[in-house]
Amino acid sequence: MSIRIRTTPLTVVALAAGLALAAVAPALAGTASAPARPAAATSAQGDPRNVTQRVTDFYGAYIDAVWEAEDPAAGADAKALRNFYLSASARKKVDAWEKRNHADGILFAQNVPVRWKVAYTGSGMGHATARVTLTWSDGKHPEVTRIDVQSDLTTRRITDLKPVK
């Protein structure tokens, strides 16, 4: 009997055992915390000159920061993002809304969405408007809210946020 014939069955057995272990290992690991969703095969790009892209960047980073509420840096990160992306007058409006409503004035809610989408809706008189769609749950009929976000075309800062009714 040649060496090749003897090692082939061993290779097949070892490969099968490895595949079986790989299939069982996640089940043995348990579900101590919610698993992170795997990233889809996507690509992203951006342009800091595009005001709609900046609104998208802001909401993505802001939601990431408030999602990580247990991280001590998250609150500081969210505040820094507000200071960077919002005009002074928009920050004042957001602060006033938060005091009246005891909720987050960027998301217009007390919790954090699971997804968001930003779409350009128009421009005029030196401003552009984007509609932010926030999705609050998964499933067949997820809860969705919308916010119109106005940005200055010169400074690219967010100048106003209004929930869509």
Maximum C-alpha span of the chain: 86
DSSP state of 37: P
The region, left, alpha or beta by phi > 0 then psi within -120 to 50, assigned to residue 156 is left
Helix, strand, coil abundance in the chain, percent, nearest 5? 45, 20, 35
Alpha carbon distance 117, 163 (integer Å):
14
Q: In what order do the strands lie in the sheet with 115-124?
A: 115-124, 127-135, 144-152, 158-163
Higher per-residue pLDDT: 13 or 132? 132
Q: Give me the chain's average pLDDT, please.
A: 83
Tokens 């690219």 — which residue?
156
Q: Residues in the chain, how many? A: 165
Q: Is the pLDDT of residue 26 over 80?
A: no
| pLDDT bracket for residue 38 (50, 70, 90) | low
The region, left, alpha or beta by phi > 0 then psi within -120 to 50, assigned to residue 141 is beta
R_g of the chain computed on alpha carbons = 24
| pLDDT bracket for residue 41 (50, 70, 90) | low
Q: Is the pLDDT of residue 42 over 90?
A: no
Which run of H or of E encompasses 19? Answer: helix 3-29
Mean pLDDT of 113-137: 97
Mean pLDDT of 61-68: 94
At 152, list the tokens: 């200055």
Q: Is the pLDDT of residue 33 over 70?
A: no
| Amino acid 14: pLDDT | 43
Closest to 120 in 3D by CA, of 130, 112, 134: 130
